[in-house]
Amino acid sequence: MRDLKAVGRKFMHVLYPRKSNTLLRDWDLWGPLILCVSLALMLQKSSVEGKRDGGSPEFAEVFVIIWFGAVTITLNSKLLGGNISFFQSLCVLGYCVLP
């Protein structure tokens, strides 16, 4: 229950940003995982319902693109000398998928 409250607090922080660095230090990957899976399921459902063109994204494509993109941006920031940890950056990028 504690993790669900923390994820909900971070969702609210993404929707209504405030100046607070405490959430950045307290990273988790549950929220980004929930967002990525829900986005992939919504896109998968829309591709199953409208099988017209066959060009809609599959579940695995969406999942891999989001996580590979987040890892690429995180590695880029680390190589450029950023002072944020790897998992903090993945957490922030994952929660930014929400809006």
**Residue 56 CA to its chain's centroid (Å):** 20
Question: Which among 25, 31, 48 is positioned nearest to 98, based on CA atoms?
Answer: 31
Q: Per residue of the chain (99 residues), give pLDDT as tens.
A: 777 888 888 888 778 877 766 666 778 888 888 888 888 888 877 666 666 555 666 778 888 888 888 889 888 988 998 888 888 888 888 888 887
Q: Which residues are CB-contacts of 5 (< 8 A; sequence separation ≥ 6)?
A: none
